[in-house]
A and B are shown apart, each in its own frame.
Chain A
């Protein structure tokens, strides 16, 4: 299997041969940052197009089909539109916080984006509490959303922000607990270790019942965490027009929009990493020929494929279900998911202690 470490080490060696050590490190920082942002933008564009196409197909439509062949460059055109749009100065807003909020949202999502192991040897931030760090940075986003709603001086925005706050804080629990369940199972918080230990079987299969429950709970809570339907109460278009980002225009709105799609990507890739083996190919113990054939497919494709499936499921949710009401949303979390999760954690501990897994 191709190891991306070869490429990164080659670049590293090249830079070090040209520059003194400290400059080489600095240059690497810039390079990584650039690649990260570029990947961020490209993935967002692809996701936006995918969402529009998928949603259209669920609704017996064709979706964008005018810009480029099959509408493929539609989201690129949209990006240019968004970039050249005016940032409207809204009166009676708290200017500093109003302008700060989209950056907080986007920074938190870029930080989380940097933690994910994309392929063999392609991890940007990888240390012993990786998954914990990912959780921590991705929940900074809520501060941005609350600030956006609060500083907009708009009643719709405020209600949207408050809903968002209540929702995120509640569902953070479920996310945390379901991830904890998997951490108990793998015995590590380091993302690369988690992936490596799935070499002979993905956790979803090896952890059977508790892993499966954790997977479902994670999917639900993750969808809620990204403010997507059926949990899109903070922006509930038929109730609050656009919720917390009602007053934003141009690229500031674009940041919220991008962050929303990237958060969906992050949730999907964390699910893929924790439950479906990340970039690890599908291995079935004993089937050597099959395993070798699977290894032949590059790890990056494994990762992208798994994430794509997860994203499709999340979109499938969104385009099937009606929106929940705020009390139902909280009831789902506190009365169903949380007890289920706690029992599941206990079950997982039993499974691990008595070695009941595969």
Chain B
């Protein structure tokens, strides 16, 4: 770490080291781009994975926080930079260094108005194009007269603005043409059976062949990050279940971990066991749902019901212990809401026995089927480099050969005590992503098997103060949610409300690779690719 610090200071002498652990460096905007490139390319650093990119209103300037990780060495770094001019904020784009920055920079532009120079496509990501102001700035005027509820539909733009720096540093606006006149552009979504929610793809077709996919998000954007800024920490918890509703426990686990870290609360061992069990149950139900919906996308409607039949059993367990089936609302700061239900342990044991024969049936009905095989194999290839650059984590990333499991990299809960295999496959196609999930189901069962009999006695929660104030500082924690790395970044100024909250959703990178994977395939392949990535729309839009 010392070496990295020195190397950064060597390249940018005016950089300021804000904190040592995690290493946080504040860099002025001008040399930022060159430093970023060095960080990725330098043999000793190789920060090739941009975990999370967060815009922050820092008062007189508009900052951006980059969480970087090296997939080669595993070390981590937080970079901060800021656009000093609030009226006309501009920063260099890092799209060509980390491809995941594409949508993330659009998100920052959407919320803070920072224009990224040399970004190919500076449209708003979530809000309407006619939205006035940048809502996550602290001086944003939320008056309903300025942004009334608009009932007319938004005009779709085919020409996106972009900003390019010429050689002498002069910034000029250029036009980035998305779709030319006369091209056959079909809307897949926002209301479409295969987009799993209100997501809209604009697809340029050449007969049956997909030539380009333009992702339009924001149809279920609720401004959860903005809402969090006016909620207390316990209140915030209620919203995390509503991000990716299929990883409700894991999302909430991440936020609880982040707050507990900041408060330096050590949770009892029993809580860790319970949380891990719940995380794995959530992963199981999410992967079962993936199987169901993926089969349905490929036209195997019957399979859909088999998956749901078995998922129901997990939901019943959730209902019994947590009191909710979808929105479980179980983790709290310092523990869990209630102790586990006495029935839970034997229900889990029954389920561990019940599922493997069912999985065999799944494979008979769908996996082995020649039609399904031909529709999955060799379709939507994602290379390891692209997976890292786009930040495609979770089962989709592991199918491309990238061992990105947060449970292994940064064990939390009791993942360091259980034995499980990280499923990594090299194929990188739809079939690979499908098989990773199917094998992860078995691994989850294996984890549950080890935990369920050994839950230690103890309290199910530690007492916390009625009003939680986080000490001033920045906190980032991530967990392995069902579909990738889910991170929470909290910037606190010592209040009972957070100053800025950012959720690193696994869904946004997933949806950003659809264009890459579906290009030059058939329409049916686009559906298969979308199904295999298994994004959840409320998680993308937040």
Which residues of A approach B to under 8 Å, CB–CB? Answer: 55, 58-61, 155-156, 159, 163, 229-230, 232-233, 236-241, 319-328
12 A-B Cβ contacts within 8 A?
A59-B301, A59-B302, A156-B186, A236-B299, A237-B193, A238-B296, A319-B302, A320-B300, A321-B371, A324-B371, A325-B375, A326-B524
Chain A min CB distance to B203 (Å) = 10
* B155-178 Cβ-contact flags toward A at 8 Å (1 or 0): 000000000000000000000000
Docked CA distance A320–B306 (Å): 12
Contact check, A323 vs B524: say whether CB atoms are below 8 A apart: yes
Partner pick for A230 among B184, B205, B309, B371, CB 8 A cutoff: B371
Contact check, B305 vs A159: say whether CB atoms are below 8 A apart: no
Known: A322-B366, A326-B522. A238 touches B297 (CB 8 A): yes
* B2-31 Cβ-contact flags toward A at 8 Å (1 or 0): 000000000000000000000000000000
For A241, list chain B residues within 8 Å (CB). 192-193
For B296, list chain A residues within 8 Å (CB). 238
For B184, list chain A residues within 8 Å (CB). 155
For A322, list chain B residues within 8 Å (CB). 295, 298-300, 303, 366, 369, 371-372, 375
For A240, list chain B residues within 8 Å (CB). 523
B382 CB-CB contact with A under 8 Å:
no
Docked CA distance A58–B186 (Å): 34
Docked CA distance A233–B522 (Å): 12
Docked CA distance A232–B522 (Å): 16
For A320, list chain B residues within 8 Å (CB). 300, 302, 365
State the majority secondary structure of interface residues on B.
Answer: helix
Docked CA distance A327–B209 (Å): 11
For B265, list chain A residues within 8 Å (CB). none
Interface size for chain B: under 10, 10 to 19, 20 to 34, or 35 or more residues? 20 to 34
Which of A55, A241, A323, A325 counts the most chain B CB atoms within 10 A? A325
Contact check, B305 vs A60: say whether CB atoms are below 8 A apart: yes
Known: A238-B297, A241-B192, A321-B371. A159 touches B302 (CB 8 A): no
Contact check, A230 vs B299: say whether CB atoms are below 8 A apart: yes
For B208, list chain A residues within 8 Å (CB). 159, 163, 326
Contact check, B305 vs A236: say whether CB atoms are below 8 A apart: no
For A229, list chain B residues within 8 Å (CB). 299, 301
Chain B min CB distance to A60 (Å) = 6
Docked CA distance A320–B304 (Å): 11
Q: 3 closest pairs, A vs B, by CB?
A: A323-B299, A322-B300, A59-B305
Chain B min CB distance to A337 (Å) = 15
Contact check, B192 vs A321: say whether CB atoms are below 8 A apart: no
Contact check, B194 vs A239: say whether CB atoms are below 8 A apart: yes
For A324, list chain B residues within 8 Å (CB). 371, 375
Partner pick for A319 among B301, B371, B524, B525, CB 8 A cutoff: B301
Which of B296, B302, B525 counts the most chain A CB atoms within 10 A? B302
B527 CB-CB contact with A under 8 Å:
yes
Chain B min CB distance to A167 (Å) = 12
Docked CA distance A203–B205 (Å): 47
Docked CA distance A23–B533 (Å): 69
Chain B min CB distance to A23 (Å) = 53
B153 CB-CB contact with A under 8 Å:
no
For A325, list chain B residues within 8 Å (CB). 374-375, 522, 524-525
Known: A60-B306, A236-B524. A323 touches B186 (CB 8 A): no
Docked CA distance A240–B523 (Å): 9
Chain B min CB distance to A95 (Å) = 24
Partner pick for B523 among A61, A230, A232, A239, CB 8 A cutoff: A239
Docked CA distance A30–B193 (Å): 45
* B191-235 Cβ-contact flags toward A at 8 Å (1 or 0): 011100000000001001000000000000000000000000000
For B366, list chain A residues within 8 Å (CB). 322
CB proximity to A under 8 Å, residues B62-87: none
Docked CA distance A91–B317 (Å): 51
For the A-B complex with A238-B194, A239-B194, A321-B369 known, give 19 more contacts whose Cβ atoms are closer than 8 Å.
A55-B301, A60-B309, A159-B186, A159-B523, A229-B301, A233-B524, A238-B297, A320-B300, A321-B299, A322-B295, A322-B300, A322-B303, A322-B371, A323-B299, A323-B300, A323-B524, A324-B375, A325-B524, A328-B374
Docked CA distance A58–B303 (Å): 9
Residue of B nearest to A229 (CB): B299
Chain A min CB distance to B314 (Å) = 17
Partner pick for B524 among A60, A156, A239, CB 8 A cutoff: A239
For B527, list chain A residues within 8 Å (CB). 238-239
For B309, list chain A residues within 8 Å (CB). 60
Chain B min CB distance to A231 (Å) = 10
For A156, list chain B residues within 8 Å (CB). 186
Docked CA distance A324–B525 (Å): 11
Docked CA distance A328–B525 (Å): 12
Residue of A nearest to B297 (CB): A238
Docked CA distance A323–B523 (Å): 13
Chain B min CB distance to A223 (Å) = 13
Residue of A nearest to B295 (CB): A322
Residue of B nearest to A326 (CB): B208
Residue of A nearest to B208 (CB): A326
For B298, list chain A residues within 8 Å (CB). 238, 322-323
For B522, list chain A residues within 8 Å (CB). 325-327
